[in-house]
Amino acid sequence: MSKTSRRGFMKTTSAMSAGYFVAAGTQQAFSNSAIEKLNVACIGVGGKGGSDSSNAAQFGNVVAICDVDRGTLEGKAKSEGFQEAEKFTDYRELFAKHGKNIDIVTVSTPDHMHAPVTLEAMRLGISCYTQKPLTRTIYEARLLAQVAKDTGVCTQMGNQGTALDSSREAIAQLQSGVLGALKEVYAWSNRPVWAQGPGRRNNMEKFTAQAMKEDAEAAPKLIAAKKKEIERALEKLDWKAWIGVAPDREFWPGLYHSFQHRGWWDFGTGALGDMACHQLTVPFAACGLRDPISVQAKTTGHDFDSFPASSIIKFEFPETKERPAIPFWWYDRKGNKPPMEVFKKWGIENVSDSGVLIVGEKGAFYSSDDYCGKYELKGVEKVKVDYERAENKGNNDVNNMYELFRAKMAGNPMICKSNFIERAGPLTETILLGNLAVWAASKGGADGEMGEWGEKVEWDAKNLKVTNLASLKTPRVADLIKPTYRTGYRLD
């Protein structure tokens, strides 16, 4: 069945559930045996992409896989469910050949390539499972939500905690008003677990100068050996495809690929972008953490190239019909947490390395993990609430993927709890605003300690504008809002 005819078939039969859909509580679920499997492409099949692609292969027919690392690509191609898939190192070539026949794509690349890959897929009418953070910049998050709405494709961000029944219950508990009027929200993370901090960039020029300085006689051999190491690495790595939309820079072994991308401003979003998409799933939905009006940060210092080793960020949210104006505080790096008195008031003595605390007039919500997968209410008792449970296909990671397949087969993008329009796009916008404050707090303290508060960034969320940009002394703050793509890639 062609992609066009499959879409027409689904449109015709979406309301005729008797033969093709089976009841699952209040959910719609499709029977794998009743309908032809959807065609899937997987962009990025190493790291988190390894499990994302394997999860998708449980429910779909993988026709193509793409990874800039040929070693990773070849390894995945040997796995069950991937042996018939055609291999690519450039996603644009994959879409050019298979785009008309793909129903769902998984996007598990470094952060800076999430938006360009996802945008091209949606514009081809392909439904998307895109890893968190949804995008590297705020404008991209807004654009992905708009394109998802315009095209009608189904979308899901890879914040798998959204598929936990406990997090869904937590949202319902908080939305019931059990805490009374909300006062403040805190989140803290043990990330980064990758290298961050100023002065990290390395290249052959820097290596040569250092080698000559240390031992001019031995330097030629060291330089030749390093060049050989780089040549061998590039035999397996399509560096041009890895750079993608970002500005050119020289490849250096272990500095960017693999997994180290998140600590660089050009490629990643730091600890905030990495973990807040998980940790804020519950507070964002339950406390209405949309459209902050300002952000301000203090950091251990950065060089506008690599993120700081640690930061503290304060977001301010205006009053809404549902709650008063409230602050949200973010802390990253293991051991960097809110003041202990914030916890002691609620009888919390042993504070987890990562977690969330939501404080209200009547009580508090405390979660001691990254996904709000387990939580306690302090000072109040749980109330009876109704919420939609996830259909269990093994674990929350698999369930989150399965939800996208259910949505696609049902022709209903809103089945996905972390769809780009209502959840993932606005959530990512909120989170990434914090990085404007981090950028404007580049000066750290002595000996790697936290510096003073940086410049406050005042924000017009509706128009994606820094309202006090003219008065900021920090350069290029607006560059973090909307990126410029290299020739060969499409943003707008």
Tokens of residue 170, six digits: 């937590």
Contact 432, 135 (CB under 8 A): yes
What is residue 373's predicted lDDT score, i.e. its pLDDT? 86
Domains of the chain: 3-163+393-422 (3.40.50.720), 165-196+265-379+427-480 (3.30.360.10), 204-254 (no CATH)
Q: Is the pLDDT of residue 226 over 70?
A: yes
Please give the pLDDT value at position 10.
44
pLDDT of res. 36: 66
pLDDT tens digits, one per residue of 69-88: 999 999 999 999 999 999 99
> What span, in angstroms and rounded, lies between the C-alpha atoms of 35 and 60?
11
Residue whose C-alpha is closest to residue 159's, from 149, 167, 147? 167
| CA pair distance 33, 178, nearest whole angstrom | 43
- The confidence band for 140, taking pLDDT boundaries of 50, 70 and 90, is very high
Number of Cβ within 10 Å of residue 152's Cβ equals: 11
Contact status, residue 182 vs residue 359, Cβ threshold 8 Å = yes
Measured CA to CA, the distance from residue 453 to residue 314 in angstroms comes to 10
Q: What is the mean pLDDT of the chain?
A: 93
What is the full DSSP assignment across 65-106?
EE-SBHHHHHHHHTSTTTTTSEEES-HHHHHHHHGGG-SEEE
355-395 tens-digit pLDDT: 999 999 999 999 999 998 899 999 999 999 999 999 999 99
pLDDT of residue 358: 98
Q: In the prediction, which pLDDT does 27 show?
A: 39
Q: What is the mean pLDDT of residues 152-180?
A: 97
**Exposure string for 255-284, b = 16+ CB within 10 A, e = fewer:** bbbeebbbbbbbbbbbbbbbbbbbbbbbbb
Per-residue model confidence as pLDDT tens digits over 300-349: 999 999 999 999 999 999 999 999 999 999 999 999 999 999 999 999 99
Using an 8 Å Cβ cutoff, are 388 and 356 in contact?
Answer: no
| Contact criterion met (CB below 8 Å) for 469 and 477 | yes
**E strand residue ranges, 242-325:** 294-299, 311-317
Q: Over pLDDT 70: what percentage of the chain?
A: 93
pLDDT at 214: 95
Cβ proximity of 29 and 21 under 8 Å: yes
- Here the tokens at position 177 are 């008003």
Tokens 């030629």 belong to which residue? Answer: 220
Q: What is the pLDDT of residue 84?
A: 97
**pLDDT tens per residue, range 172-209:** 999 999 999 999 999 999 999 999 999 999 999 999 99
C-alpha to C-alpha distance for 357 and 185, rounded to whole angstroms? 6
